[in-house]
């Protein structure tokens, strides 16, 4: 049994996991200054979708054959994203001369060990790491606020297609990973999950406001990781520097917890045949995505639509949660 507090923590993490390295830069690229409005709207839509989702009995559905197939595919996709994001973060900023295999292999080993320990261990780990994550987020927000220039929010240029895509992407990025959590908990608490979603979404929203307010959308569009680049250029109290390393820590925490939950969902859906599936998956992930920039770029540009399929399927599942 996972406590309501842990459910909130896990929902907080899952609602954020697709933004660093993917969501934030993608949304800014599509809607520029309007990304603030589109993101806010996307989070509101996501809240009502998640409210609807938490009224359904996903635990029972994902114990059926079709449910196991859906959650396995979704989980493997998100684990693959986590591995790519971890590799890009490490190879671009820290281990520039290290082969990709030496970066991602320890990550997969850590995930395998965590899955072997089970869901209670993953839950306890999330309770510990959330303290570090939230503390760093507060520190980052404090750093950003004095550097914001309101002039950077203008001019606002409306492009209908990009605005709609940005709103859709925000909704999908923040809600779809939480479906994995719903598949793992039999009697999940709707209020706890929604609470975690709200705080997770607000943390991303404040970071997005800060990026636009400090860089402006034009400059932010030049960077693949605007949140990381931003922290390279600001200091706290004129002496605390290298804060981008703090961002890397919370990014790794989000990726780790997300990958652990997703991998555990695969193990549960495949009746503990995780070892065989994980070996095959690691080979496919490394050969076709981690070690292939073009395929990774394809995922970057199409993740919104791929995850939208899983979200639509989840919405139209007819089984209701028992009251």
Measure the CA–CA gap between 26 and 223, rounded to whole angstroms.
Answer: 11
Residues 6+ apart with CB under 8 A from 184: 2, 59, 119, 261, 264, 265, 268
Residue 323: pLDDT band (50, 70, 90) is: very low
According to the model, what pLDDT value does residue 186 have?
A: 83
Task: Say what percent of the chain tops pLDDT 90.
Answer: 21
The pLDDT tens digits for 54-90 are 888 887 888 888 888 899 899 988 988 888 888 888 8
320 phi and psi, to 5 degrees? -100, 155
| Cβ proximity of 135 and 195 under 8 Å | no
As a whole number, the mean pLDDT across the chain is 83
Measure the CA–CA gap between 251 and 207, rounded to whole angstroms.
Answer: 13
- Who has greater pLDDT, 231 or 45? 45
- Quote the tokens at residue 245: 């390393």
For the range 27-30, what are the long-range contacts, defined as Cβ-Cβ under 8 Å and sequence gap of 24 or more? 27/166, 27/169, 27/170, 27/208, 28/208, 28/211, 28/212, 28/217, 28/220, 28/221, 28/226, 29/221, 30/162, 30/163, 30/165, 30/166, 30/169
Q: Is the pTM of this model over 0.75?
A: yes
pLDDT over 90 at 170, yes or no: yes
Nearest to 21 by CA among 259, 171, 229: 229
The pLDDT tens digits for 85-135 are 888 888 777 777 888 888 888 888 888 888 888 888 888 888 888 888 888
Kindly calculate the radius of gyration of the chain based on its CA atoms and give it in whole angstroms: 19
The pLDDT tens digits for 179-206 are 999 988 888 889 999 999 999 999 889 8
CATH superfamily of 4-315: Amino acid/polyamine transporter I (1.20.1740.10)
- Quote the tokens at residue 268: 């549960």
Instruction: Name the least confident of 2-6, 75-79, 286-290.
Output: 286-290
| Cβ proximity of 159 and 31 under 8 Å | yes
What stretch of H or E contains 12?
helix 4-16
- Quote the tokens at residue 100: 């990709």
Average pLDDT over residues 45-60: 89
Cross-strand bridge partners of residue 236:
240
Residue 251: pLDDT band (50, 70, 90) is: confident
| Cβ proximity of 225 and 232 under 8 Å | no
- Quote the tokens at residue 210: 């800060």
| Cβ proximity of 81 and 263 under 8 Å | no
Measure the CA–CA gap between 179 and 185, rounded to whole angstroms.
Answer: 10
Measure the CA–CA gap between 309 and 142, rounded to whole angstroms.
Answer: 38
Task: Say what percent of the chain tops pLDDT 70.
Answer: 90
Kindly write down the DSSP assignment for every residue of 161-213, as one continuous string: HHHHHHHHHHHHHHHTTHHHHHHH-TT--HHHHHHHHHHHHHHHHHHHHHHHH
Residues 6+ apart with CB under 8 A from 209: 36, 148
């Amino acid at each position: 049994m996972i406590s309501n507090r842990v459910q909130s923590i896990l929902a907080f993490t899952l609602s954020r996991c697709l933004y660093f390295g993917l969501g934030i830069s993608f949304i800014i690229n599509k809607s520029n200054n309007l990304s603030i409005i589109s993101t806010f709207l996307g989070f509101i839509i996501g809240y009502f979708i998640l409210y609807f989702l938490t009224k359904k009995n996903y635990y029972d559905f994902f114990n059926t054959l079709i449910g196991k197939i859906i959650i396995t595919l979704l989980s493997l996709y998100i684990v693959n994203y986590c591995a790519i994001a971890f590799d890009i973060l490490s190879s671009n900023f820290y281990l520039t001369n290290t082969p990709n295999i030496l970066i991602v292999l320890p990550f997969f080993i850590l995930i395998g060990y965590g899955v072997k320990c089970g869901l209670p261990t993953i839950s306890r780990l999330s309770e510990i790491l959330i303290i570090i994550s939230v503390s760093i987020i507060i520190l980052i927000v404090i750093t950003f606020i004095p550097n914001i220039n309101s002039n950077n929010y203008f001019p606002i240029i409306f492009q209908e297609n990009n605005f709609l895509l940005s709103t859709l992407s925000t909704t999908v990025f923040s809600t779809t990973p939480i479906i994995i959590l719903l598949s793992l908990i039999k009697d999940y608490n709707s209020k706890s999950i929604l609470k975690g979603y709200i705080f997770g979404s607000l943390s991303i929203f404040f970071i997005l406001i800060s990026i636009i307010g400090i860089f402006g959308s034009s400059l932010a569009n030049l960077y693949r990781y605007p949140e990381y680049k931003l922290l390279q250029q600001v200091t706290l109290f004129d002496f605390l520097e290298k804060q981008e390393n703090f961002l890397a820590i919370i990014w790794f925490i989000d990726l780790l917890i997300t990958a652990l939950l997703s991998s555990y969902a695969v193990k549960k859906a495949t009746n503990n045949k995780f070892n065989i599936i994980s070996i095959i998956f690691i080979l496919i992930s490394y050969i076709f995505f981690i070690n292939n920039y073009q395929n990774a770029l394809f995922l970057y540009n199409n993740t919104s639509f791929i995850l939208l399929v899983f979200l639509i399927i989840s919405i139209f599942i007819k089984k209701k949660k028992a009251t």
